Amino acid sequence: AVAPLGQVSELAEQLEERLFHLYGFHNELIQERLQALGEGMERVQEVQEELRHVCCSVEAAYRDLLL
């Protein structure tokens, strides 16, 4: 038996609504993960800067010891 056109239309509408909600949910997740990634990258840069500073300090101390 063939489903009436109204039923098909209603099902299509429900499907579209579900897909829209799913898309919104996944979009939100992606945004959160991108933000977390950005924050992580900032921390990595800060640590790199600290490491550079430590290396310079060690280098300077080593030079002082040799002189």
**Each residue of 10-25: pLDDT tens digit?**
999 999 999 999 999 9
pLDDT in tens, 27-65: 999 999 999 999 999 999 999 999 999 999 999 999 999
- Give the Cα separation of 57 and 62 in Å (integer): 9
- 3 state SS of 31: helix
Domain ranges of the chain: 1-66
pLDDT band at 2 (very low <50, low <70, confident <90, very high): low
- Give the Cα separation of 67 and 65 in Å (integer): 5
* Start-to-end CA span in the chain (Å): 96
Segments of the chain assigned E as strands: none
